[in-house]
Structure 1
């Protein structure tokens, strides 16, 4: 069971303080009250405060000023700003000064509950990582490939099953998802682990040079070939060769790769003697090879030879629950490289990372974490230490109005996805649709006093459709509707 959290409410209106206290205590939180910024600053310094809910407009010490002072004293303490002046300028200023989030008055208590819940979900994820570290070892770290989400766990199981085999593997995934890292994990967990792992990027080398890089060349094979040179297949003898971005390989060279896979033989450029190739082949691509096969730019027979075991690495935006684990991994990795204590992230920094879509995937996240480690002068990484792209995405979300309903909804979905894991595999759409429909219908019926006819008009749907939905969701009809029907 989660520990009880203590929330500080700072607002100059007694009625607001009372209402918030009642609502938060119903959720099981302990609540501390402050009537102004000066009092709020003093209470925030007390041990045991886990979250601050604060009005942005108060007499005496103004909310933004108090926010800045709280973040100076306790940078790790999340602060949610409440404001009746829901302007973009106020929101942006609050976020720049370190606010975790902001909500506008008059606010929906359901919205507030979700925002508070989200803060503690982030903290619990962070604490969970710390606890796993304290126990020693990282069960979510598989040869440098990090993940706890169901998709990554299935990949780890598959890698374990392939350990004793020499099957050819095709790794698919967007750029930056960690395809080479996974290839290394496969190699170092196989019976070939004591032999070389040799990687080559097929897209980075011109076609006329790639053949020589792969197979080597004899002396005098072409202009400039002044000595015999061994290629990657020879260098990988007994081990594994990783052919990255194989979808970019010239179709003529693909035939020679096919021969290696079929006959385990090849010749150096300019050579006449066949050489054996005792290597395991792991290939990777960010392309849709089926389309390349249809367009005749990739050999169909090579595709089937490579696709013996196919592994698809999910993009980072589809495994959000792994972001705290990955961040923790990179923080420790950087600390080991620099021979220093690992730095840490307050919830508001991690929240920005969770909200960002990471088009560059794990590689972009790694670069962001290591850059932040360099820029942060203390042991704490704050939002301003993150790349501008994350901050701009956050501001763009606020400018588009996402900071209210859509933002809270997005956060709630993210947290629920992390909690659900795989128990609702294949039912996610129906689950979330029902989860949204039920409170929506209840609130609309509440607003119309239970009158289904009026509720259907507000929703813009047919009354029979509404009745059907109510039956499906187990919602009893309201008294107001019955009275309307009798009249």
Structure 2
């Protein structure tokens, strides 16, 4: 069922179209002039509009842009008794999708309406599938209170609008792939393809084929032509992850492509060109790789036009808390639960953990907690032992050492106070002593 707007100054035409369309289950709004048409388009969402070319002293073609502005997804069909090639071309140029002359039959109206219904159904299905795909991963927010991360995101936004090659550096799991996607999304290439190649995952021969493509018969197993990622990303962005592991044999070919935008597929002597922006990432020291002869110096300088460093998550405890809450919302919905948040003890454990796996490890920890949590709040026991050691609480009089008693008491006080100063005040020690105790017990 479509929501349809009819704009015609002839009452008989409006009535005929209304009866015809409503009899097939569509919702219809009929108006006689441009002012009412614009008002209706601003008020409700339409899938289809029938627009008369002549509306008294008004030109129906002039209504097409404002209606599209109000409903960008609407399909507009121009109807007129003064059909000509010129008016049809002009209607399409202004954004109309179809054109039928008067007098028309109910069958003609049905054909046009069914065609629009099919297109709208496909568009809506695609939009739904896109939303489903986006829900497979929690949204990653680039808001941060850490100065280093703020600088990285701001620099990424600035260079996104340029054509410069970007090198993202940082430990594994810090979000380099996500930031590469964001750079593409912020660029003028956003509506073009984005491709990713992980350099360590393929042998040198397969990596060259994946990058530049191959022709049928180029090697054993090449049963058909493969255009390669460079060709498939035409006009867009290609992200080369872990570029430090790019084989030496491939490095001059990548350098040539970056400089000249030219390449050859495996087994093909023809030179091809492609307009593709390169973004790379590494967690290795490329300067040392150059010194060791494992990476070409000239390629390094071409890749290092813009360098963006992402800080490890362990340096960003405030961001850990914000990311963990954002991820919990996603995973609680995915697991059909209503989780309000974390206990103070759980938050403290998350903030104090060293996160060697960075954001990727945090994501896994939060997903696990959302699955295991059987209350409305994630507790410390829902976290892995590696993140929050689950030592059984001790009671006064238990047969344990004073050191164990002291450690657990300090852990509980730190976990249930908002600041370290508050914890030190409760414990009756100064912050320097508390710092030494925390270091001693790994708190």
Hey, what does 1:420 align to over in structure 2? Answer: none
State the Cα distance separating 1:274 from its structure 2 match: 1.2
1:324 aligns with 2:321: yes
The answer to whether the 8 Å contact 1:200/1:244 transfers is: yes
Structure 1 residues 393 and 379: CA distance shift in structure 2, 3 A: closer
2-side partners of 1:407 and 1:274: how far apart? 67
Q: By how many angstroms is 1:277 displaced?
A: 2.0
Aligned to 2:253: 256
Residue 354 of structure 1 and its aligned partner are, at CA, apart by: 1.1
1:106-255 counterparts in 2 under 5 A?
144-255=141-252
Q: With CA pairs under 8 Å and 6+ residues apart, which has the higher RCO, 1 or 2?
A: 1
Contact 1:215–1:266 (CA under 8 A) maintained in structure 2: yes
**Shift in CA distance, 254/275, structure 1 to aligned 2, threshold 3 Å:** same
Q: Which residue of 1 aligns with 2:330?
A: 333
Partner-residue secondary structure (3-state), 2:378: coil
Query: Greater CA radius of gyration, 1 or 2?
Result: 2
Provide the residue aligned with 2:354 in structure 1. Answer: 357
2:212–2:229 Cα contact (<8 Å) kept = yes
Q: Distance in 2 between matches of 1:406 and 1:342?
A: 25
**Change over 3 Å in CA distance of 1:415–1:216 after alignment to 2:** farther
Change (3 A) 1:338 1:142: closer
**Structure 2 contact 381–390 (Cα < 8 Å) conserved:** no
CA drift of 1:344 comes to: 1.1
Moved over 4 A (4+): 141-144, 398-416
Residues 235 and 299 of structure 1: is their aligned pair in 2 closer, same or farther, counting only changes over 3 Å? same
Structure 1: which 5+ residue stretches go unaligned? 1-140, 417-434, 441-487
Secondary structure of the corresponding residue to residue 321 of structure 2 = helix
C-alpha distance after superposition, 1:433-468 (max 9, x if no partner): xx959xx9xxxxxxxxxxxxxxxxxxxxxxxxxxxx
Report the Cα offset of residue 155 of structure 1. Answer: 1.6
TM-score, structure 2 as length reference: 0.58
- Please report how far the alpha carbon of residue 373 of structure 1 lies from its aligned counterpart in structure 2 after TM superposition: 0.1
Q: Normalization by structure 1: what TM-score?
A: 0.53
Return the alpha-carbon distance in structure 2 between the equivalents of residues 318 and 209 of structure 1.
Answer: 38
Given that 2:344 and 2:415 are in contact with CA atoms closer than 8 Å, whether structure 1 keeps it comes out as no
Q: Structure 2 regions of 5+ residues with no counterpart? A: 1-137, 393-402, 422-430, 437-443
TM-aligned CA deviation for residue 272 of structure 1: 0.9
CA RMSD of aligned residues (A): 3.2
Quick one: distance in 2 between partners of 1:411 and 1:303? 49
